[in-house]
């Protein structure tokens, strides 16, 4: 009996070893430079999430081709409504943005979102719709405070672990590496314009430029709405909300970037926060923006 137990024990150990070796292997293949372990999510998964959010953004920015006939028939064709609102043509034939009347029914738990009031909602659509109803003083508004309702992070509310000092001190390195890897990935997929691609090439060959080019690129990318050479907390949303559930350091990290606490992150603050030497940062957003749009 004891022998059997030992045998089974050894077998389990062997299987576990095999498993961890194959995982390590996979990690080594996907990760480019990271050797250090971290308590957060494996870096290659984070990259995937970041890329997915970027793809979604790109899709949102894509406008359907304009069709004069259609525009004539449907004034909503050209109207852009903010989150939680949809276009309706009113009685006198004018396109208007009104609160979304119905959100798609979500059965997938992964669509759940946690609000800034630490309440779990079925989807982000429901949060934006409620905020719209409250902004419009509609009877559907459940709480006047919901005028300020927003998505804190994707995923059901949970007790987020505290970001420890050691995790925080390693975070700038991890963030730099994700940004660089994502930039490289997009270049490989030929989704970047010529100036961008040149920046990637430069980053690949010149170590001094590696992190700074990636940082400048992401910062320019975030500073698009509006383009004012400062990234607001609102503009940080695409990198904060999708990651916070898995990466509890991202929110405190991004807060820390806003050193003077004016709710804006300048390129200098962004560079400091990613621990990139100042003299290697050059702002070239106009170039990038022209290629992005």
Distance CA 143, CA 60 (A): 30
Binding positions for ligand NAG, 22-41, rule CB under 6 A:
35-36
Closest by CA to 65, choosing from 54, 75, 56, 77, is 77
DSSP string computed for the chain: -HHHHHHHHHHHHHHHHHHHHHHHHHHHHH-SS--S--SS--HHHHHHHHHHHHHHHHHHHPPPPP-HHHHHH-GGGG----TTEEEEE-TTS-EEEEE-S-PPPP--GGG-EEETTS-EES-HHHHHHHHHHHHTT-TT-S-GGGGG--EEEESS---PPPPPHHHHHHHHHHHHHHHHHHHHHHHHTT-S-HHHHHHHHHHHH-HHHHHHHHHHHHHHHHTTTT-SSSEETTTTHHHHTTTTTT-TTHHHHHHHH-TT-SSEE-HHHHHHHTT--GGG----HHHHHHHH-
Instruction: Give the residue, chosen from 122, 255, 280, 283, that forms a contact with ligand NAG under the rule CB under 6 A.
Output: 280
Q: Considering the complex, what minimum distance in angstroms separates the CB of residue 205 from ligand NAG?
A: 7
Cβ-based nearer residue to ligand NAG, 74 or 197: 197
| Residue at token pair 């309706």 | 88
Q: Which stretch binds ligand NAG (CB under 6 A): 10-18, 204-212, 223-231, 247-255?
A: 204-212
Cβ-based nearer residue to ligand NAG, 53 or 280: 280
Q: Which stretch binds ligand NAG (CB under 6 A): 132-140, 206-214, 222-230, 231-239?
A: 206-214
Q: Which stretch binds ligand NAG (CB under 6 A): 16-24, 85-93, 155-163, 214-222?
A: 155-163
Other CB atoms within a 10 A radius of the CB of residue 239 amount to: 23
What is the Cα 14 distance to its own chain's centre? 39
Q: Which stretch binds ligand NAG (CB under 6 A): 66-74, 100-108, 122-130, 154-162?
A: 154-162
Q: Assess 157 for contact with ligand NAG (CB under 6 A).
A: yes
Q: Assess 198 for contact with ligand NAG (CB under 6 A).
A: no
Q: Considering the complex, what minimum distance in angstroms separates the CB of residue 158 from ligand NAG?
A: 5
Instruction: Give the residue, chosen from 147, 150, 173, 198, that forms a contact with ligand NAG under the rule CB under 6 A.
Output: 173
Q: Assess 206 for contact with ligand NAG (CB under 6 A).
A: yes
Q: Assess 165 for contact with ligand NAG (CB under 6 A).
A: no
Q: Considering the complex, what minimum distance in angstroms separates the CB of residue 149 from ligand NAG?
A: 15
Binding positions for ligand NAG, 67-126, rule CB under 6 A:
118
Cβ-based nearer residue to ligand NAG, 88 or 209: 209
Q: Considering the complex, what minimum distance in angstroms separates the CB of residue 122 from ligand NAG?
A: 15
Helix 207-222 / helix 165-188 crossing angle, nearest 10 deg: 90
Q: Assess 159 for contact with ligand NAG (CB under 6 A).
A: yes
Q: Considering the complex, what minimum distance in angstroms separates the CB of residue 174 from ligand NAG?
A: 9
**Total residues contacting ligand NAG (rule CB under 6 A)?**
11
Query: Rule CB under 6 A: which residues touch ligand NAG?
Result: 35-36, 118, 157-159, 173, 206, 208-209, 280
């Amino acid at each position: 009996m004891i022998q059997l137990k030992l045998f089974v024990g050894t077998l389990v150990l062997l299987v576990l070893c095999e498993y961890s070796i194959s995982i390590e292997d996979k990690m080594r293949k996907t990760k480019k430079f990271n050797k250090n372990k971290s308590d957060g999510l494996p870096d290659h998964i984070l990259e995937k999430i970041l890329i997915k959010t970027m793809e979604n953004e790109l899709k949102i920015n894509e406008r359907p081709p304009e069709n004069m006939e259609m525009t004539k028939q449907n004034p909503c064709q050209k109207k852009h409504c903010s989150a939680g609102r949809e276009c309706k043509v009113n009685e006198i034939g004018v396109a208007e943005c009104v609160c979304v009347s119905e959100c798609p029914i979500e059965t997938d738990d992964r669509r759940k979102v946690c609000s800034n009031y630490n309440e779990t909602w079925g989807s982000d659509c429901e949060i934006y719709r409620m905020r719209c109803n409250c902004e419009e003083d509609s009877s559907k508004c459940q709480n006047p405070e919901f005028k300020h309702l927003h998505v804190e992070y994707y995923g059901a509310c949970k007790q987020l672990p505290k970001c420890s000092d050691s995790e925080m001190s390693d975070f700038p390195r991890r963030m730099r590496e994700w940004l660089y890897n994502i930039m490289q990935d997009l270049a490989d997929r030929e989704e970047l314009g010529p100036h961008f691609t040149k920046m990637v090439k430069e980053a690949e060959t010149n170590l001094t430029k590696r992190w700074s080019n990636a940082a400048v690129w992401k910062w320019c990318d975030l500073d698009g709405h509006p383009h004012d050479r400062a990234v607001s907390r609102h503009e940080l949303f695409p990198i904060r909300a999708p990651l916070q559930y898995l990466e509890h350091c991202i929110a405190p990290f991004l807060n820390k970037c806003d050193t003077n606490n004016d709710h804006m992150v300048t390129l200098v603050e962004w560079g400091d926060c990613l621990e990139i030497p100042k003299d290697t940062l050059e702002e070239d957003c106009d170039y990038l923006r022209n290629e992005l749009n």
